[in-house]
Structure 1
Amino acid sequence: MDDRPVILLVGGDHADAVEREFRARYDRDYRIETAGSCADALDAARALVARRVPIAMVAAEHRLPDGTAAELLHQVPAVVSTARRVALVPVEEYADALDDLRAALPRRELDTFVGIPRGPRDEEFHTALVELLSEWVWSVARPTVTASDVVAEPGDRTAAAIRDLLDRLGIPNRTLAPDGEDARAILDAAGPGARLPVVRAINGRVLAAATPGAVAEAMYGGFDSIPEGEVADVVIVGAGPAGLAAAVYAASEGLTTVDLERDAIGGQAGSSSMIRNYLGFPRGISGMRLAQRSRVQAGRFGARFYTGRPATRIEPGPADEPEHHHVHVDGAHLCARTVVLATGVAYRRLDVPGVEELVGAGVHYGAATSMAREMQDRDVYVVGGGNSAGQAAVHLARFAGAVTMLVRRASLAETMSDYLVREIAATPNITVRTRTVVSDGGGDGRLRWLRLRDLDSGADTVTSADGLFCLLGAQPDCGWLPDGVALDDDGFVLTGRDVPREAWRDGRPPASLETTVRGIFAVGDVRSGSMKRVASASGEGASVLPLVHAHLAAVREEQLTTGAGR
């Protein structure tokens, strides 16, 4: 039996050339099937779905005998919502088709369009296809190879959190029942009486009674391996876009760089299913891929990552030793000449008792992309009106029967990028309910229902619900910072000229991204006044490096001056 996923090609005048190109590159891993018209393609897709054959991609030539690629691809989600959709444009038609194809993208009529190759080795063409297939494999297909295994009972909430962590890190994984054949060797390695969940990590370590933190720490080396007495030039707290950018630029400029992350590298952005407005990625990029590439890039320059434990406090260096800040985590600490705070923000809690009791059992904070597959044909609710909520809703709509967005404000446009507002409006199984909040919820050990309140009328309605994904607003986690770091009224870190005048030094404010404690900087979402976007966070992470260099130079000069005066 051929169990390869299908790439369905729909050809016009260039059908033979298109089929040769696809078979030459993809015939080993995908089954290439063809159709000659819109009607034939839809019939073929329906037949494949009826046989439960996964369809990875539908690629259609721009002009077909009974319509256009956009007209066909617009109908594909009604048959198979998860297939990637590509319009193939002959070079001679490209200029005339460009405006129509660009307009089709925000209407979600297709995922991308590419020119049909005119000769061999058209790597730009294949890069576009491989990116789409890669995202399909990550978000839709079950892994055919696995780098990490989770042995757990069905419905184990801790195991679900571990799987979400592994997916956000881009690590192929599978969940095994304790009585399964594949689980036996893992449980034997864990030892008699090992408590579930048991995890075989990517490096071969087997963890009993595993937690997300323990698994994260096993991925990149434990904090206990930090060399005693080492002083890093830069310790970055947080590995979201801002922290990763700071790590790349610090390490690339020769500074000894350490990045601490309590959770998955990538932060909240790492759970975004598709970021379409990030510079340099015209077809979009998932948060996981962006974080994965950034981590690898920083690591190649020499940055080291430690994950799985939160920073608990910072002790600023004394006046006679200003270059030595001490950053503490549970059971370990690092010395740092400078500290960059890039901790981002956390999603606000709903504070609805019936709902909070079901976190991990149908209720999730964040996008929880690993759970999307489990929402097949179900009723799903997304709470929040920002970009992260919009991206989660669009991704869930590929799987769920219906997605309802619950937004406190009167309009999505108040808090969401225009491209996402239009994409949501063009997705038929997404409904937006404004001025609506969750007032109650419950179920028999798993979410089954929600009570929704209309903020204008005060009326409550009860509805069935299989999944609730909460991405509502952002609050900083800054309670662990030293008292000398000034915060605004909402708890975000003040920097530069926003610092209270009484905290200025010699009548001058701190540097633009520097806090009230000399040598401690803040970048990204945790900083007061930041834009709360991935691109701006990355920009601030890069922009902090000249300020770090200036601080290190000033400290060296002061030490020389002090030494010369003795």
Structure 2
Amino acid sequence: MAKPVILTVDDDPEVLQAVARDLRQEYGDRYRILRAESGASALEALEQLKLRNQPVALFLVDQRMPQMSGVEFLEQTLSMFPDAKRALLTAYADTDAAIRAINTTKIDYYLMKPWDPPQERLYPVLKDLLDDWKATFHPPFEGIRVIGNRWSPHSHQAKDFLARNQIPYQWMDIELSPEAQQLVEYADCDTLHLPLVLFPDGFSLMQPSNVQIAEKIGLQTQAEKPFYDLIIIGGGPGGLAAAVYGASEGLRTVMIEREAPGGQAGTSSRIENYLGFPVGLSGGDLARRAVTQARRFGVEILTPQEVTGIRVEDPYRFVQLSDGSEISCHAIILALGVAWRRLNVPGLEKLTGAGVYYGAAQTEAMSCQGEEVYIIGGANSAGQAAMYFSKYASHVTMLVRGDSLTKSMSQYLIDQIGETPNITVKTHTSVIEAKGETSLEALTIVNALTGETQTVPATSLFIFIGAQPRTDWLDGVVEKGDRGFILTGPDLQLNGHRPKGWTLERDPYLLETNIPGVFAVGDVRQGSVKRVASSVGEGSICVQFVHQYLSNVV
């Protein structure tokens, strides 16, 4: 933690220097001593301290100053640092004003000038004040602070990006927190440009992009080298597993992730059927462990960075990035994962990020405290989310189109949901409209069996209705099957013939696409088993096919 501040203010430069000297001599090892020659300049300094979230322990202020007296200055500090101790330096003629200020302005003490010797007339008084301050002091949060509106999609994006990248932050709602309103004013940020992201060094960003946040917090967004043995596109479980095995076996490896390592699995609140973790672990924990492991073996991880194209110039493969740069390699693994399928219902699109969320938006869980939460979906991801939100919400309602959960959800989750009193499962039920101007206010739902419709108040809706791959950018390059999933290995052969344009004297390897040296693993591959363990397995064994490919071309 940064040293707490002792601020002294006096318009006489010689007196100010002497006071600061005495304070530094006695307290400089434990406190940061700041000085200001006027109340106005002191207030400017205090605004910067607030933006850095640095505490003030004590004000030692001269009473007789032009433009702003000591009492007037201390009155203005009450809203900024209400818990700081306040001491007034006065001449004999000002003692009446000081006494009145003690009764009306929360001034803790007044000291007469001169204070020499400080060992007798200054330090004992300040020691008592500082001891009192320390007794009730609670250290401030020292990380990133995000100030915004709960119903702002931009605010949700910033919170979600930080959370998924394992960056601690403090959320401050502009509508609920007077301190947040104060900080926005100090940073000269109007509410139209929220969220305001404040960093510990005092730097701030207004309505930042993920790339801007990433660059400020030190995430790597650019490749260090122009060429690698292996480029992995996608940072979900499959991509992370491939990165660990590739780098550990000596391949110069870079992994490129468009949002945050962990992929869709990284948003899961609890994975309970993953081998080796009998009490389960969160997707975020799994991603954090895997990233640490990958970096230990020397994997470069670029995030957030997006790949926009692939081209081939044998024996090399080139990857084009969204910033216009390009890196090359011998082999590529496509571990793109999938995205949540969008629900085409009136009102949902405009409220996405403002009460309507796709996937388990864990960043919103605390905001749902005591509220009713609705979840659409009946597979494992929806069940895991229901269990997670049941810890915060007063009630969770699952809306399921089918007649039960048994067709798409693991039995252990079905049992847990059945034993949780504040979760209700409504089968044969769909949402047909979302209502609200700036945030979700109500849902209209219909029962497919009875045809009955009802409109229920709702502030939070989380949607898990299947997944679709983001592979449009591979059109004309990599062969795809149903709904855009990538074809690999035997699936590429039609009537026993190798894929069109295949030039090698062998068949494609099990996880290889129609382009030699370009592989696909995990959920994006057609026919894959949509489980975390399966993706990890495919990412691991794919590296062996990469080695076989490299042995013939390098």
How high is the TM-score relative to the length of structure 1? 0.67
Counterpart in the other structure of 1:198: 196
Please give the alpha-carbon distance, in whole angstroms, between the structure 2 residues aligned to 1:173 and 1:483.
42
Please give the alpha-carbon distance, in whole angstroms, between the structure 2 residues aligned to 1:473 and 1:246.
25
Deviates further, 484-493 or 195-204? 195-204
Counterpart in the other structure of 1:161: 157
Which of 282, 291, 294 is matched with 2:290 structurally? 294
Aligned alpha-carbon RMSD (Å)? 2.7
Counterpart in the other structure of 2:345: 352
Counterpart in the other structure of 1:279: 275
- Checking the alignment, whether the CA contact within 8 Å between 2:220 and 2:301 is kept in structure 1 is no
Letter in 2 for 1:147: G
Q: Secondary structure at the match of 1:483?
A: coil
Please give the alpha-carbon distance, in whole angstroms, between the structure 2 residues aligned to 1:219 and 1:503.
47
Number of equivalences = 409
Letter in 2 for 1:555: V
Matched, 1:270 2:270: no
How high is the TM-score relative to the length of structure 2? 0.69
Please give the alpha-carbon distance, in whole angstroms, between the structure 1 residues aligned to 2:187 and 2:252.
37
Q: Secondary structure at the match of 2:455?
A: strand
Deviates further, 211-220 or 258-267? 211-220
1:485-537 CA-to-partner distances (Å, cap 9, x unmatched) read: 11112210011101133444467531011111111111110010111111111
- Checking the alignment, whether the CA contact within 8 Å between 1:158 and 1:212 is kept in structure 2 is no
Matched, 1:476 2:469: yes
Deviates further, 243-252 or 199-208? 199-208
Please give the alpha-carbon distance, in whole angstroms, between the structure 1 residues aligned to 2:180 and 2:367.
22
Which of 216, 220, 223 is matched with 1:226 structurally? 223
Letter in 2 for 1:158: H
**Runs of 5+ unmatched residues, structure 1:** 1-142, 557-566
Which of 392, 395, 399 is matched with 1:399 structurally? 392
- Checking the alignment, whether the CA contact within 8 Å between 2:307 and 2:320 is kept in structure 1 is yes
1:232-271 CA-to-partner distances (Å, cap 9, x unmatched) read: 1111111111111111111111211111111121111111
Please give the alpha-carbon distance, in whole angstroms, between the structure 2 residues aligned to 1:337 and 1:403.
49
- Checking the alignment, whether the CA contact within 8 Å between 2:399 and 2:427 is kept in structure 1 is yes
- Checking the alignment, whether the CA contact within 8 Å between 2:346 and 2:432 is kept in structure 1 is no
Q: Structure 1 residue 217: deviation in Å? A: 5.2
1:404-442 CA-to-partner distances (Å, cap 9, x unmatched) read: 111222221111111111111111111112222111011
- Checking the alignment, whether the CA contact within 8 Å between 1:362 and 1:468 is kept in structure 2 is yes
- Checking the alignment, whether the CA contact within 8 Å between 2:141 and 2:170 is kept in structure 1 is no
1:452-504 CA-to-partner distances (Å, cap 9, x unmatched) read: 12233433222121210011100011100151311112210011101133444
- Checking the alignment, whether the CA contact within 8 Å between 2:150 and 2:354 is kept in structure 1 is no
Please give the alpha-carbon distance, in whole angstroms, between the structure 2 residues aligned to 1:353 and 1:343.
29
Please give the alpha-carbon distance, in whole angstroms, between the structure 2 residues aligned to 1:215 and 1:147.
13
Letter in 2 for 1:520: V
Q: How does 1:96-175 map to 2 (within 5 A)?
A: 145-153=141-149, 155-175=151-171
Which of 508, 511, 521 is matched with 1:513 structurally? 511
Letter in 2 for 1:273: S
Q: Structure 1 residue 212: deviation in Å? A: 3.3
Which of 417, 423, 428 is matched with 1:430 structurally? 423
Matched, 1:467 2:460: yes
Matched, 1:322 2:300: no
- Checking the alignment, whether the CA contact within 8 Å between 1:220 and 1:305 is kept in structure 2 is no
- Checking the alignment, whether the CA contact within 8 Å between 1:362 and 1:467 is kept in structure 2 is yes
Structure 1's 405 and 342: CA in aligned 2 closer, same or farther, altered over 3 A? same
Letter in 2 for 1:196: L
Q: Structure 1 residue 329: deviation in Å? A: 2.5
Please give the alpha-carbon distance, in whole angstroms, between the structure 1 residues aligned to 2:474 and 2:376.
30
Matched, 1:454 2:451: no
Matched, 1:385 2:382: no
Structure 1's 182 and 146: CA in aligned 2 closer, same or farther, altered over 3 A? farther
Q: Secondary structure at the match of 2:374?
A: strand
Q: Secondary structure at the match of 1:255?
A: coil
Q: Structure 1 residue 356: deviation in Å? A: 1.7
**Runs of 5+ unmatched residues, structure 2:** 1-138
Counterpart in the other structure of 1:140: none
Please give the alpha-carbon distance, in whole angstroms, between the structure 2 residues aligned to 1:196 and 1:330.
25
- Checking the alignment, whether the CA contact within 8 Å between 1:486 and 1:516 is kept in structure 2 is yes
Please give the alpha-carbon distance, in whole angstroms, between the structure 1 residues aligned to 2:420 and 2:228.
49
Please give the alpha-carbon distance, in whole angstroms, between the structure 2 residues aligned to 1:497 and 1:219.
44
Please give the alpha-carbon distance, in whole angstroms, between the structure 2 residues aligned to 1:428 and 1:193.
40
Q: Structure 1 residue 340: deviation in Å? A: 0.8
Counterpart in the other structure of 2:545: 547
Counterpart in the other structure of 2:359: 366
Q: Structure 1 residue 147: deviation in Å? A: 2.7
Counterpart in the other structure of 1:537: 535
Please give the alpha-carbon distance, in whole angstroms, between the structure 2 residues aligned to 1:404 and 1:340.
39
1:278-334 CA-to-partner distances (Å, cap 9, x unmatched) read: 11111110111110111111011111111123211111x22xx22233333333222
Please give the alpha-carbon distance, in whole angstroms, between the structure 2 residues aligned to 1:431 and 1:194.
38
Which of structures 1 and 2 has the bigger CA Rg?
A: 2
Please give the alpha-carbon distance, in whole angstroms, between the structure 2 residues aligned to 1:332 and 1:190.
35
Please give the alpha-carbon distance, in whole angstroms, between the structure 2 residues aligned to 1:436 and 1:486.
37
Please give the alpha-carbon distance, in whole angstroms, between the structure 1 residues aligned to 2:282 and 2:191.
39
Structure 1's 153 and 396: CA in aligned 2 closer, same or farther, altered over 3 A? closer
Letter in 2 for 1:226: A
1:53-92 CA-to-partner distances (Å, cap 9, x unmatched) read: xxxxxxxxxxxxxxxxxxxxxxxxxxxxxxxxxxxxxxxx
Please give the alpha-carbon distance, in whole angstroms, between the structure 1 residues aligned to 2:203 and 2:243.
27
Identity in percent: 43
- Checking the alignment, whether the CA contact within 8 Å between 2:406 and 2:414 is kept in structure 1 is yes
Letter in 2 for 1:337: H
Which of 491, 497, 501 is matched with 2:490 structurally? 497
Q: Secondary structure at the match of 1:490?
A: helix
1:381-416 CA-to-partner distances (Å, cap 9, x unmatched) read: 111111111100000111111111112222211111
Structure 1's 280 and 478: CA in aligned 2 closer, same or farther, altered over 3 A? same
Structure 1's 455 and 192: CA in aligned 2 closer, same or farther, altered over 3 A? closer
Please give the alpha-carbon distance, in whole angstroms, between the structure 2 residues aligned to 1:382 and 1:343.
25
Counterpart in the other structure of 2:305: 309
Q: How does 1:73-84 map to 2 (within 5 A)?
A: none
Structure 1's 552 and 191: CA in aligned 2 closer, same or farther, altered over 3 A? farther
Letter in 2 for 1:547: F
Structure 1's 509 and 410: CA in aligned 2 closer, same or farther, altered over 3 A? farther
Q: Secondary structure at the match of 1:199?
A: strand
Counterpart in the other structure of 2:49: none
